[in-house]
Structure 1
Amino acid sequence: MSTLFSSAEQLLAAQGQDLGRTDWLVITQERINLFAEATGDHQWIHVDPVRAATGPFGACIAHGYLTLSLANLFMPQLMQFANLAMGINYGSDRLRFPAAVKVGSRVRGHGEILRVENLGQALQAVVRMSVEIEGSDRPGCVVDTISRYTFNPLQK
């Protein structure tokens, strides 16, 4: 279930808010292979199931950056905006990959709004996104995303 933000005031007031969790997503070998094609990273631990079965993880694993990119998929499932003139991805801080995400794993996003700052024309929000792995105590990725949002003036 996503949270709807319709004004700068609502987003500012949401600092510290837990955004909840998304639905589960299965990490398939096809998704991993497509990411390998897009990035040119064809390391065997990602794309060779036979060799990976005897490797350190016992199966193919998702690329760390594939796991990171899921933050972009999960964010709009947790945060929706109305009356928004523009939203941009400004960057990220504190990126970690605590656990490998094996092929066939189910993952989901968990978000928390850490900070919201007023920059004048826009707001800057830092949202910690954790990519949780079903059955694991450690997430596959934790990243503090930084986004900037400009709302249209509210009509009175």
Structure 2
Amino acid sequence: MKTKNIFTIILLLLSISFYAQKESSDPKREKIKAYKISFLTSELNLTSAEAEKFWPMYTTYDDKQFDLRHKKMKTYLRKLKDENVNALSEKEALSLLNQIENTDDELYALKKKYNSELKRILPAKKIILLKKSEDDFNRKLLQQYRDKK
């Protein structure tokens, strides 16, 4: 049992270092990512075979989702802040709405593809546990953020 956990932790650390080298992103984001991986590792109790297939796929999905949500959506939100919404013409508002809908469609397609791939790696019960654990992590992170203020 301990060997399995040690192997999972080593795999986890290797994947973190690989992705940290791959992208030189925000140190806060990297810290949150490492914390999230640690949290999910303890919650999911993956076998070493599951972990070996799961973590590379999960980090790829998480990065793509982050790019869609933060890069594209931030662009839209900046537009809404920079330009008064009331000052937008109907044509500009429709264009912005279409861009937002397209991003939502991309996120949905990404999630559907991820879930399909996930079903080949993990049993349904662990996939549900993953969803719950991600929600728990997000609540915990938000609570820590609120406590700091």
Higher helix share: 2
Instruction: Please give the TM-score of this superposition, normalised by the length of structure 2.
Output: 0.27
Instruction: Please give the TM-score of this superposition, normalised by the length of structure 1.
Output: 0.26
